[in-house]
Amino acid sequence: MDKTTAGWGSGLLGVIIFSGSLPATRIAVADFSPLFLTSARAVIAALLGGICLYALRQLRPQHSDLIPLVIVSIGVVIGFPLLTALALQHITAAHSIVFIGLLPLATAIFGVLRGGERPKPAFWLFSILGAVTVAGFALSRSDGGSITGDLLMLAAIILCGLGYAEGATLSRRLGGWQVISWSLLLSLPPMIAIMMFTLPANWGGIGLPAWIGLAYVSIFSMLVGFIFWYRGLALGGIAGVGQLQLLQPFFGLILAAVFLHEAIAWTMVASTAVVVLCVAGARRFT
């Protein structure tokens, strides 16, 4: 298996893991405050990442790596989780998919600006068509949103795209799981402080679904998913592999159909087919 194929396979696995993030966040913020959820998930993931770094005797990053790691922390450790948690208090998880459809395009743009990539012009056509397809599908299923929620999601997408591109560039030298682990540790002091100041007043009122949501976003969304995702971006290319995020909403709906027995509409099948073609086209012209 060549490097590019391995990168796309790793990226696809990361997307599958990420597909449960927004629903899990939506469940968790029903009982946890957005600030506590954001800080607690980062603290849990940082402790796990720190244990891995220590156990495997990883060298500390160089001084020149500090700014990129800070950007990753702001983008994917703090910014995206916090802003989406706040947004999901105003909009539904279904409506948030409208903006998730823009994430591959944002990642590609920052891949050009920060990663030095130069996709062919046809790549942008497939990327835009894929984003429009996902957004259109999401709007057809959404019950609407709010200006506050929409602005928060838009800001989350911009920061996340930047964090993805910056982390992928750094992963080419440090390794994917090392980058997210060091970024988590870098954000640990302020995250611990925020977590302590936002502890729930009534622990007994927190239901099991919220605990499961917290566990998922802490272990899988914040750490495990990034191990595969950053490896995929580093090996297969930021702009190209980033287009796999177009499939994330559909993976989430498939999981809902399998485990919750929800119906699969024909519009989902049609939209998925278009998105798969867009991803294939984007890979061809990366």
pLDDT at 216: 95
Query: pLDDT tens across 88-135, in order?
Result: 888 876 677 777 778 888 989 998 988 788 888 899 999 999 888 887
Q: Name the DSSP letter for residue 205.
A: G
Whole-number Å distance between alpha carbons of 155 and 143: 21
Domain containing residue 198? 3-284
Query: pLDDT tens across 244-285, in order?
Result: 988 887 787 776 666 656 566 777 778 878 888 888 888 888
Domains identified in the chain, total number: 1
Secondary structure element (H or E) that encloses residue 142, with its range: none
Lowest mean pLDDT segment, chosen from 132-146, 224-238, 241-255: 132-146
pLDDT at 218: 95
pLDDT at 46: 96
Tokens, residue 59 = 């060298």
Q: What share of the chain is helix, strand, coil (3-state, %, to 5)?
A: 85, 0, 15
pLDDT at 262: 57
Cβ(4)–Cβ(236) under 8 Å? Answer: yes
Query: pLDDT tens across 159-188, in order?
Result: 999 999 999 899 888 888 899 999 999 999
Longest Cα separation, the chain: 56
pLDDT at 88: 80
Q: Name the DSSP letter for residue 19.
A: T
pLDDT at 89: 81
Cβ(13)–Cβ(220) under 8 Å? Answer: no
